[in-house]
Amino acid sequence: MSDKETKVKVTNLTKKFGDLLVLDDISFDVGKGEFLCIVGPTGCGKTTFLNSITHLYEPTSGHILIDGKEVNLKEHNISYIFQENSTMPWLTVEENVRFGLDIKSIPREEATNRVSEYLKIVGLEKYKNYYPNQLSASMLQRVVIARAFVTEPDLLLMDEPYGQLDIELRFKLEDELLELQRRTGTTVIFITHNIEEAVYLGERILILTNKPTKIKSSVFVDMQHPRNIADEEFVEIRNKVTDLIKWW
Amino acid sequence: MKSEKKKNIIATLLTIAGFLLVWQLVSMAVDNAAFLPKASVIVLEFFKTFVNPVGKYTMTMHILISLYRVGVAFILATLVGIMMGVGMGYSKLVEAILYPLFEIIRPIPPLAWIPMSILWFGLGDASKFFIIFLGSFSFITLNTYDGTKNVDRELIGAARMLGASERQVFFKVVLPSSVPYIFAGLQIAVTAGWSSVVGAEMVRSDEGVGWLIVMGMNKGNTIQIMVGMLAIGIIGFLLAQLTTLVERRLLAWNDQ
């Protein structure tokens, strides 16, 4: 990431809930267009970490700058993809994808063009008039991904977005995500507890410690896409990350 | 699927026919028209009232007048109910101000309000609107309140993340996601409002299906009482069907 312009700068981020210290003085940078994965033991505060970045939780201390400015959801264009399905059940697929554009008052014609472009990319144009309750889990997650990308976000935060999908669908959606990210150059922070997923997707992997969470290590994955999970180098990095994550 | 639907309709019709048959047999056994008139007599009389006036009007007019009263009160109840429900569900302060009062007023049956409603609103339609309003608004309020409270936090989070203001979160997430609850409330309320029409029309009136019953009671006319009851039942059933139909149309997304 050293050759990239800094997109996100986190300095001394600390979060306490009462006396409980969850995030302990975390500092790191994310480069523009970087795909950063964050892994850590279960319950280590990964989600708190993301929520603090977006100021969904107010950090106890520290700063998060995007393009050199303090995070502001009105000003910065951040998209967040959760593990749980967050489509609006009363909107059709098309309306769901359009949701963020309407909120940001993007002109009608431009919004329509962008929505149809992204529906095509995620392969849902045939289903644009369907309601979420008529779709499968992977299709729903595609809707959410299209909704996130269509706003052309400065930063895309993903919190175990594929945690509930079976392995085949996960692989497919991971490839789609990489392709979308390559096309749009969006900066992505991707949280997962799945080490293989992190090595498959990330340019860099941050490994967090158990609570109170600190950054334990940072591992670069200098491999071309598409990566082969059976490749010797892949296995080596995966083992390295696995060793780093062990807290026992 | 189609044949299943047909089967269900036949089952429904058989139940109704069975009910009328049992009624007919019991009334024949009792053989006292003032105590339990025959089903055949009531059904026949019911149809006759559409041609021969009872009091000033025929049945069609009585039904329309009652529907008008219920309609006006129901619209008011919907407006007030949704506003109160949304307010209490969305704002802790509004909840603190209104909820206890609402819970105190709610258990008082509409009939208990009749004397006060006459004092406050007189003998005209206003007091009838008031009684029917009280009979229906709490269902709408309570359901809307539930719906607003149970909005999926994930959806609010997703909207906030996409930059939605408080206002946008409210109108684009909270309100639409409460609609199924509001509809469930409206459905109960329309039936409850229609049921309270008798009580409302006990307040001096010359027309309406409730009046048919009250007048029948005053004259000791069992047939008129039961014809009035039948009219209330049938119209209530149709109203419930109508709300279900509207709900299906508007809430296609909620159909599992």
Q: Which long-range contacts (CB under 8 A, 24 or more apart) does A53-56 make?
A: A53/A8, A53/A10, A53/A13, A53/A157, A53/A189, A54/A78, A54/A80, A54/A157, A54/B161, A56/B157, A56/B160, A56/B161
B162, A103 contact by CB (below 8 A): yes
Q: Which of B178, B103, B112 is nearest to B138 (CA)?
A: B103
Q: Write down the domain spans for chain B.
A: 1-31, 38-254
Is residue B253 less than 8 Å (CB to CB) from chain A?
yes
Cβ contacts (< 8 Å) between B164 and chain A: which residues? 103
Chain B residues within an 8 Å CB radius of A77:
163
Look-up of token digits 């001096």 = B204
- List the single residue in A with minimal CA-CA distance to B174: A88
Distance from C-alpha of A70 to C-alpha of A75, rounded to nearest angstrom: 10
Listed in sequence order, the DSSP H helices in chain B are 2-30, 39-48, 59-90, 92-105, 114-121, 125-149, 153-161, 166-169, 175-195, 197-202, 209-219, 222-250
Strand order in the sheet with A6-17: A20-31, A6-17, A61-66, A69-70
CB contact under 8 A, B254 and A103: no
Per the CB < 8 Å rule, is B162 touching A99?
yes
Kindly give, in sequence order, each residue whose CB lies less than 8 Å from that of residue A176, ignoring residues fewer than 6 positions away: A121, A122, A142, A145
B26 touches chain A (CB under 8 A): no
Q: State pLDDT tens for residues B66-121.
A: 999 999 999 999 999 999 999 999 889 999 999 999 999 999 999 899 999 999 99
Residue A84: per-residue pLDDT: 81
Determine whether the interchain pair A80/B158 forms a contact, defined as Cβ–Cβ distance below 8 Å: yes
Confidence grade of residue B132 (pLDDT, cut at 50, 70, 90): very high
From chain B, the residues in CB contact with A79 under 8 A are 161-162
Torsion angle, CA of A141/A147/A151/A152, rounded to 10 degrees?
30
Which residue reads 């010359």 in tokens?
A: B206
What whole-number percentage of chain B has pLDDT above 70?
Answer: 99
| ipTM of the complex, rounded to two decimals | 0.76
Does A167 contact chain B (CB < 8 Å)?
Answer: no
The one-letter amino acid code at B4 reads E
DSSP type of residue B129: H
Instruction: Report helix, strand or coil for B121.
Output: helix
pLDDT digits (tens, 9 = 90+) for B217-246: 999 999 999 999 999 999 999 999 999 898
Task: Report yes or no: B4 at the A interface, CB cutoff 8 Å.
Answer: no
| Crossing angle for the helix pair A108-121 and A93-103, to the nearest 10 degrees | 130
Block means of pLDDT (10 residues each) for chain A, length 248 residues? 76 88 89 91 77 79 88 81 87 94 91 92 90 89 89 88 80 87 90 90 91 86 87 89 79
Instruction: Write the pLDDT tens digit of every residue in B167-188.
Output: 999 999 999 999 999 999 999 9
Query: For chain B, what is the mean pLDDT?
Result: 91
Extents of the domains making up chain A: 31-76+154-248, 85-153
HSE toward the beta carbon, residue A201, CA cutoff 13 A: 36
Q: Write the pLDDT tens digit of every residue in B5-44.
A: 899 999 999 999 999 999 999 999 988 888 999 999 999 9
Q: Mean pLDDT throughout B124-148?
A: 94
Cα B52 to Cα A107, B46, B49: the distances in Å are: 63, 10, 5
Contact B163 A54 (CB under 8 A): no
- Assign B252 to helix, strand or coil: helix
Class of domain A31-76+154-248: alpha beta
Check if the beta carbon of residue B176 is closer than 8 Å to that of residue A88.
yes
**Which two tokens mark B48?**
């006759």
Which amino acid would we find at residue B184? Answer: A
User: Which phi and psi angles does B73 have, rounded to 5°?
Assistant: -65, -35
Nearest residue to A226 (alpha-carbon basis) of A182, A193, A191: A182
> How far is B214 from B217, CA to CA, in rounded Å?
5
Residues in chain B closer than 8 A to A132 (CB atoms)? 253
Which stretches of chain A are DSSP H helices?
A: 46-53, 93-103, 108-121, 137-150, 167-184, 195-201, 232-245
Total CB pairs under 8 A between chain A and B: 65
pLDDT at A1: 46
Close Cβ partners of A110 (under 8 Å, ≥ 6 residues apart)? none
Q: Which position has the token pair 């977005």?
A: A161
Q: How many CA atoms lie within 13 A of A140 on its CB side?
A: 20
Q: What is the pLDDT of residue A77?
A: 83
Give B-chain residues touching A151 at CB under 8 angstroms.
Answer: 162
The whole-angstrom separation of Cα B201 and Cα B193 is 12
DSSP-based three-state secondary structure for A84: coil
**Residue position matching structure tokens 């009585």:** B62
Rg (CA), chain A: 18
- Test B252 with A131 for CB contact under 8 angstroms: yes
* Topology annotation, domain B38-254: MetI-like fold (1.10.3720)
| Closest C-alpha to B113, from B97, B129, B101 | B129
B249 touches chain A (CB under 8 A): no
A56 CB within 8 Å of a chain B CB: yes
